[in-house]
Amino acid sequence: MSSMASSTAFFTPLHDFTQARTTPSPPLPFIKSSFASSKSTFFHPALSLQTSSNFPRLFGKPKFFSVHARAATEKTIYDFTVKDIDRKDVSLSKFKGKVLLIVNVASRCGLTSSNYSELSRLYEKYKNQGLEILAFPCNQFGMQEPGSNEDIKQFAYTRYKAEFPIFDKVDVNGPFTTPVYQFLKSSAGGFLGDLIKWNFEKFLVDKNGKVIERYPPTTSPFQIEKDIQKLLAA
Examine the domain organization and report whether 94 and 193 are in the same domain.
yes
Mean pLDDT value across residues 93-97: 98
Mean pLDDT of 205-220: 97
Give CA 141 to chain center in angstroms.
Answer: 10
Least confident of 13-17, 23-27, 123-127, 135-139: 13-17
Number of domain units in the chain: 2
Rounded to whole angstroms, the maximal C-alpha distance in the chain is: 63
Residue 109 falls in the annotated catalytic set? yes
Domain range holding 203?
Answer: 77-233
Q: Do the beta carbons of residue 88 and residue 123 sit within 8 Å? A: no
- In 120-223, DSSP assigns E strands to 131-137, 202-205, 211-215
- Over residues 103-115, the mean pLDDT reads 98
pLDDT at res. 40 = 39
Residues 146 and 203 occupy one common structural domain: yes
Do residue 149 and residue 49 come from a single domain? no
**Which pTM does this prediction carry?**
0.70
| 4 assigned to some structural domain | no
| pLDDT per residue as tens digits for the range 122-131 | 999 999 999 9
Span 26-77, pLDDT tens digits? 443 433 344 444 443 333 333 333 333 333 333 444 444 444 434 444 899 9
pLDDT digits (tens, 9 = 90+) for 23-40: 444 443 433 344 444 443
Choice among 67, 90, 109, 196 that is catalytic: 109
What single-letter amino acid sits at 80? Answer: F
**Vertex 35, ends 87 and 103: CA angle to 5°?**
50
Length of the chain, in residues: 234
Q: Which residue intervals of the chain are DSSP H helices? A: 55-59, 112-126, 149-154, 179-187, 225-233
Whether residue 72 is contained in a domain is answered as no
Residues 133, 30, single domain; the answer is no
- Where is pLDDT greater, at 39 or 94? 94
pLDDT in tens, 218-230: 999 999 999 999 9
pLDDT reported for residue 189: 72
| Beta strands 131-137 and 99-105, pairing class | parallel
Does 130 share its domain with 14? no
The residues with which 166 forms a beta bridge, in sequence order, are: 135
Burial 161-199 (b: 16+ CB within 10 A, else e): ebebbbbbbbbbbbeebbebbebbbebbbbebebbbbbb
